[in-house]
Structure 1
């Protein structure tokens, strides 16, 4: 089975299993938060100004900004889905490196920045406060297994949403009566069809899914693989100094 098909299969299974977890819908807004933060951060990097950010209960979001130049609209429109996919990959990299606490601090820092500067009312305001408080409880408790389970849940939910977002864009692009979000913006900027941009976002997301799952499998199988090598008397080669 190809890596693409295997990644899609793992994603479908993960989607089904995580939806059985109580309150999982609450944490799916993490991907929305990162998506909108990516828009906001790119705007600031390009010398624009961010007016406000909205996070909605249906897992959608909006970033209002003022551009420093017309050309900067292109990278800003690209940054949302690409940033969300890269962030999901980063979470799995940090997990494989045993740095879950750093990942949790990073998520909390983004939430704090949005709360302090751009999200001051509505569902997004309440969600950010709840998310920050829950992260703080997990970060400062002493049981590592609780932190690991919590981090793994956030990582998988973020990975799923980072792929489902572009998939929804593809469906919306096929239906001319519905907006395709950032893909529609890119169509207006470049003249290239929204469907093309949606497919590119989806392919990039699936590539990140595949790499993330490789990191996860390596993390899970690492200790058992090392134990097997010890049982068989096989160890990695080392350079011998004479």
Structure 2
């Protein structure tokens, strides 16, 4: 690539994009809601949440110096992150707690970047995170899901117009903020009916000798707080 082109790309990534119109802002929020609320669409879009969920486990494992062995993503939207280290202690607790916290926190980080007009930087940041996750994927479906998601983000950031990039970024951030709530509600619904005995909340309950419901409530508080704060940043930009 010509040096001048590299400079142009860098300027685009670090540049500030103008805020969209109010109509675009509410339209993107509505699209994200339609991707989360109906059961039919959620069956497919939940894969994105699983990527963020398992990526959160993996990142927490690395940051707490646990040995990350691999990540698997399944077609039923479940996932598995395998790491080794002490079976107890702060590292294990943080790793277990990072799954349900990751999607809303990523949405909050995205809202913060968008509030500063850094739309392209957000898209490229997502591509880099997905590339890092791809290295640790250990099954074909998981690799395909991550590659497709990263490919879409890259295509929009590289070939898309400023307007398309902005709309795509807003939909993505709204989606993560809204989608952070539903898995927590689904988790408690399963637990209430005797399902998911080895869920993250139940593992955390055993690790910390506290009620698993306490962790479900904590996940819900985090997701709702991120939604409220992120929505305020997006709507008041």
TM bucket normalised to smaller? 0.7 to 0.9
Structure 2: where are the runs of 5+ without partners? 1-28
Structure 1 residue 153 and structure 2 residue 171: aligned? yes
Corresponding position: 1:128 with 2:146: yes
How far the C-alpha of 1:84 sits from its partner, in A, is 2.3
Q: Are the equivalent residues in 1 in contact too, given 2:127–2:153 (CA < 8 A)?
A: yes
SS at match of 1:165: helix
Query: Partners in 2 of 1:133 and 1:50 — Cα distance?
Result: 25
Provide the rounded CA distance (Å) in 2 between the counterparts of 1:206 and 1:17.
Answer: 18
Q: Secondary structure at the match of 2:227?
A: helix
Which of 19, 22, 29 is the equivalent residue of 2:47? 29
**Cross-structure match for 1:51:** 69
Q: Note the C-alpha offset of 1:56.
A: 2.1
Distance 1:209 1:48 in 2: 30
* SS of corresponding position for 1:119: coil
**Distance in structure 2 (CA, Å) of the matches to 1:159 and 1:112:** 22
Question: What's the CA shift for 1:178?
Answer: 3.4
Q: Distance in 2 between matches of 1:206 and 1:134?
A: 28
Deviates more, 1:82-91 or 1:11-20: 11-20
Give the structure 2 partner of residue 138 of structure 1: 156
Pair 1:18–1:199, CA change in 2 (3 A): closer
SS class of match (1:70): coil
Aligned length: 207
Match of 1:209 in 2: 227
Q: Is the 8 A contact 1:173 1:195 kept in 2?
A: no
Residue by residue, what CA displacement relative to the aligned partner does 1:9-52 show, whole Å, maximum 9, x if unpaired?
A: xx9995347668x9786554332222212211111122211111
Which residue of the partner structure matches residue 22 of structure 2? none
How far does residue 191 in structure 1 lie from its aligned partner after superposition?
2.2
Name structure 1 gaps, 5 residues minimum. 1-10, 220-242
CA distance in 2, matches of 1:133, 1:12: 24
Mapped partners of 2:166, 2:44: distance in 1: 18
- The CA deviation string for residues 40-75 of structure 1, in whole angstroms up to 9 with x for no partner, is 111112221111101123332210110146312111
**Alignment partners' CA distance in 2, 1:13 and 1:136:** 21
Provide the alpha-carbon RMSD of the alignment. 2.5
Greater alpha carbon shift after TM alignment, 87-96 vs 190-199: 190-199
Paired with 1:139 and 1:12, the residues of 2 have a C-alpha distance of 22
Q: C-alpha separation between the residues in 2 aligned to 1:13 and 1:27?
A: 12
* Aligned mate of 2:206, from 164, 173, 188: 188
Q: Measure the CA separation in 1 of the matches of 2:115 and 2:181.
A: 21
Task: Select 2:128's aligned residue among 109, 114, 127.
Answer: 109
Counterpart CA distance in 1 for 2:61 and 2:210 is 22
Q: Indicate whether 1:62 and 2:80 are aligned.
A: yes
* CA deviation after TM superposition for structure 1 residue 179, in Å: 3.1
Could you tell me whether the CA contact under 8 Å between 1:172 and 1:180 is conserved in 2? no
- State the match for 1:239 in structure 2: none
